[in-house]
Amino acid sequence: MLDPMKPDATAASLIYDDVRSVSPALEHYTKEFLLDGLWKRGALSARDRNIITVAAIIARIQTREMPVHFALALDNGVKPAELSEIITHLAFYAGWGNAMAAVAVARDVFRQRGIEPDQLPPVDDKPLPLNEEAEGERSRQVGENFGAVSPSLVQNTTELLFRGLWLRPALAPRDRSLITVSALIANGQTAQIPYHLNRALDNGLTTEEAGETLTHMAFYAGWPCVFSALPVVKDIFGQRTR
């Protein structure tokens, strides 16, 4: 696996020199606990860690980190079509401005690697199968709770998100769920975690992988965001083991 802070030897030298000139302690933590620790843990694949990190930095609009982590994701098995679709997905779950900031960076990464439009997901593609029963129940509950408040939002949520975006085949359902949960944690949106973490577990994410996602996100979103999410995740795990 490539070092997340070493796109090449020269750049890595500059990065470490810069960090050391400001905070030798931060350089130490970065090398020992982030790069030689977290990224080498086996509880998640390198590809999963890249997906989680990309989701976090887009959710937090951390454009300084995007070139390295977009390139690293591509090197670790994330396909150009998948990276493209992650950005599209996070327009809905982190905001259009966040996605556009990511587009500006990804454009340059794609150009440098010769990635052409025909390697990216089309606007229209054959959708994945829809679980009509589950979607019907979700739609009913949202309509009953919020239909009188914002009927247009309820309609868009059904048509654009759950009968549109979530059925796009450019991302596997597990990956789409993992990206969503990571973005919610990164932005401290704990109220939305129960539905999406349950969906992630239904889509194939294990509780061990979800727990390790929290460990990873502590470094990329900060301990407070993760500890705010921790009680919610604990409750979900408990409910699913009853």
Tens of pLDDT, residue by residue over 225-236, are: 999 999 999 999
Query: What confidence tier does 242 reach under pLDDT thresholds 50, 70, 90?
Result: confident
Return all residues near 198 (Cβ < 8 A) that are at least 6 apart: 236, 240
CA distance linking residue 164 with residue 200, whole number of Å: 18
pLDDT for residue 10 is more than 60? no
Task: Name the strand (E) or helix (H) holding 227.
Answer: helix 223-240
Question: ∠67-47-193 over CA atoms, to 5°?
Answer: 90
CA distance linking residue 134 with residue 198, whole number of Å: 12
pLDDT at 196: 98
pLDDT for residue 207 is more than 50? yes
pLDDT at 7: 46
pLDDT for residue 14 is more than 70? no
CA distance linking residue 203 with residue 175, whole number of Å: 9
The 10 Å Cβ neighbour count of residue 159 is 12
Query: What confidence tier does 206 reach under pLDDT thresholds 50, 70, 90?
Result: very high
Instruction: Give 18: exposed, middle or buried? Use CB within 10 Å, 0-12, 13-18, 19+.
Output: exposed
Q: What ranges do the domains of the chain cover?
A: 126-167
Instruction: Give 231: exposed, middle or buried? Use CB within 10 Å, 0-12, 13-18, 19+.
Output: exposed
Q: Check: CB of residue 63 under 8 Å from CB of residue 85.
A: no
DSSP for 80-110? Answer: HHHHHHHHHHHHHHT-HHHHHHHHHHHHHHH
Exposure pattern of 213-222 as b/e (b: 16+ CB <10 Å)? bbebbbbbbe
pLDDT digits (tens, 9 = 90+) for 88-147: 999 999 999 999 999 999 999 999 999 999 999 999 999 999 999 999 999 999 999 999
pTM over 0.85: yes
pLDDT at 13: 52
* N- to C-terminal Cα separation, the chain: 38
pLDDT for residue 209 is more than 50? yes
pLDDT digits (tens, 9 = 90+) for 35-92: 999 999 999 999 999 999 999 999 999 999 999 999 999 999 999 999 999 999 999 9
Phi-psi region of 168 (alpha: psi -120 to 50; beta: other; left: phi over 0): beta
Query: What confidence tier does 2 reach under pLDDT thresholds 50, 70, 90?
Result: very low
